[in-house]
Structure 1
Amino acid sequence: MMINTMQKKNGSLIAAVIITFNPDIKKVIDLVNSISYECHHIYIIDNNSKEIHLLQDFIDGVKNITLIINETNQGIAAAQNQGINASVASGMDFTLMFDQDSLPKKGFISGLIRGYNLVSINKNVAAVGPNLFDSRYNFNYSFLILDKLGFREKYIPEPDETNPVEVSCLIASGLLINNSCLQRVGLMDEALFIDYVDTEWCLRCKSYNYHIFLIPNITLEHEIGDSNISLWKYKVPVHSPWRRYYRVRNGFKLVTMKHVPKLLSIREIIFSFIHQIILLANTRDSKYFKYYLNSVKDAFRKL
């Protein structure tokens, strides 16, 4: 594999951070190939995957890719922080986060940079991110715009929309972080382990008067959940009972955070309960009930 190092463009050096945990190796390779010509460095942070040696063989000898393998699953937040710290320590201006199953198209990174340069002229911008498309079910994900009380508006970009839109939250995959904001805002909250990590960080940025922007004409193919359950006009993502444990537990943790609107956290707690009932009814897997009880018990014990 031949990888070119991107020259410093418009004063910007960019490091990509890819988080892996038992990934489809081919998808990770496709992701690396799709971003390698626009990144100065790529950090792959692996949380103790079973077949990570296959990825090691692929990147062996490539100078601008660093693979960091954790001996245990540290959680997505801790792995993201490892990558972010490496990016900052190496003098990068931006850190671009990716999940293992995302696939950007050519020009993705330069498009985000153009969007960032446009919105950061008069505002302190912590991060920008792309429009998200799930090719499995042929739909675009919605984005949240919250007021100070936590009342929410769902926003879905129009296909031909080009102007950046300020939103309250973006998901981590495809998130282009301005490294200069990290000294004030801080890193990802490792206590959350996996769920709501990106949501909490974005809302924390907003509490420090930083702005978060969606760049609607830049699209990232991304999969949320192992599958989806269609219920009327809604799509309920299906995660494992183990993953749902963190979703439920962390909903309660959000209540204690001053920068998270109370209406948002209460809504997440209620909807997590509803989602759990839907998953239990559709899968008949009693583990959803068991993990839900454990998550609520652990949440109250720590609260």
Structure 2
Amino acid sequence: MKRLSKSNLGIVVVCYDTGADFIQRLSKYIVVSNNVILVINKFSSFKKQQDLIHSVAEVFHSNISDGSLRIEELPDNLGIAAAMNHGIRQLMDKCEWVLFFDDDTMLNCQNVDELSDELNGAITYIGDRKLGIFALGYHADDSQVDSRHDKDAGATHYIEKYAVISSGSIIAVDTFKKFGLFEEGYFIDSVDVEYALRLKAGKFAIVQSSKPLMIHPIGRRYEINLLGKKILFSEHNSIRCYYIGRNRIAVGIKYMKQFPEIFLYSQLQTLFHIGRIVAFEDKKLVKIIRMLRGVAHGLTGKSGKLIPGGSK
């Protein structure tokens, strides 16, 4: 069995416009790893970025001094994929595994052994096949007692997925060496989906635990009543709608031969998403225009960061 330890597990946390309550979350990460990298995607406010860095330096001075915590500032907001890749490169020669967190994700375990036991359970679950990604189960917020992953897995404790979110994902360094790093052209959205499908196409398994070892907020959500059943949906601003539309179609096209069902599902998702915007959300026109623009760019192979009003 493979054992995680504080020395062989690296953690990459991507920070953007991070709030002051991040200090509590960071203290949880340091409990399970001696190799924590904070990657600062340039904040929208210079003062807010410096305030966070000063707070971290003040509270975790000893960790910074002994090298168990490092702060890496990027020159611009380069997107989630570039930020994660920057962290991976810092850890590739010193760790065997990398665990990723968004800055709003709270880890909810006592020690690294608890993570290791979950990882080994996933390895046992897939038998002779190779593990590509192991994802921690999560609650959407600290008031929820249910988890969609609990329901998916049922009594098995583990379930195979097409894709999982990057926050809470554990990936072996050897996997990055074999398959490469995250696709930076996507900037945000579908970065985790593309990488999971890349591994699945290479016959590696994507496994999620049903045990919620973290709290991961979903963001702004709204509830609708559909055929007597209450359903929660996430609401995104117009720029996110662009990336969602673009990257869904890009991923679907890229893996159409291996996973034609993903291509069909992604297109149905986009149509349903537009329908939700029309029926339930504000700023309908700008969101729909940007989503359709994203779809057009995905079809023509455009990628990178959106420049509002520009050529992208």
- Please indicate, yes or no, whether the TM-score normalized by the shorter chain is above 0.5: yes
Tell me the percent identity: 19
Match among 244, 250, 274 for residue 247 of structure 1:
244
Once the two structures are TM-superposed, the CA of residue 266 in structure 1 deviates from its matched residue by: 2.2
Once the two structures are TM-superposed, the CA of residue 162 in structure 1 deviates from its matched residue by: 6.5
2:183 matched residue in structure 1: 189
Superposition pairs for residues 111-260 of structure 1, below 5 Å?
111-120=114-123, 122-135=128-141, 138=144, 140-142=146-148, 156-158=152-154, 161=155, 163-232=157-226, 233=229, 234-258=231-255
1:72 alignment partner, SS class:
coil
In structure 2, stretches of 5+ residues that fail to align are 303-312
CA distance in 2, matches of 1:296, 1:9: 41
2:71 matched residue in structure 1: 67
2:55 matched residue in structure 1: 58
**Cα deviation digits, residues 101-146 of structure 1 (max 9, x gap):** 1111133643232122234364321221111211277364545xxx
The answer to whether the 8 A contact 1:112-1:176 is kept is: no
Letter in 2 for 1:237: S
Match among 89, 94, 108 for residue 97 of structure 2:
94
Once the two structures are TM-superposed, the CA of residue 58 in structure 1 deviates from its matched residue by: 2.1
Root-mean-square deviation (CA, aligned residues, Å) is: 2.5
Letter in 2 for 1:100: D
The answer to whether the 8 A contact 2:166-2:192 is kept is: yes
2:32 alignment partner, SS class:
coil
Aligned length: 282
**Cα deviation digits, residues 74-101 of structure 1 (max 9, x gap):** 1111111111111113x10111100111
CA distance in 2, matches of 1:155, 1:135: 16
The answer to whether the 8 A contact 1:253-1:299 is kept is: yes
The answer to whether the 8 A contact 2:152-2:159 is kept is: no
2:153 alignment partner, SS class:
coil
TM-score normalised according to structure 2 size: 0.81
The answer to whether the 8 A contact 1:112-1:128 is kept is: no
Change (3 A) 1:36 1:293: same
Moved over 6 A (4+): none
In structure 1, stretches of 5+ residues that fail to align are 1-7, 144-153
Letter in 1 for 2:193: T
Once the two structures are TM-superposed, the CA of residue 207 in structure 1 deviates from its matched residue by: 1.6
TM-score normalised according to structure 1 size: 0.84
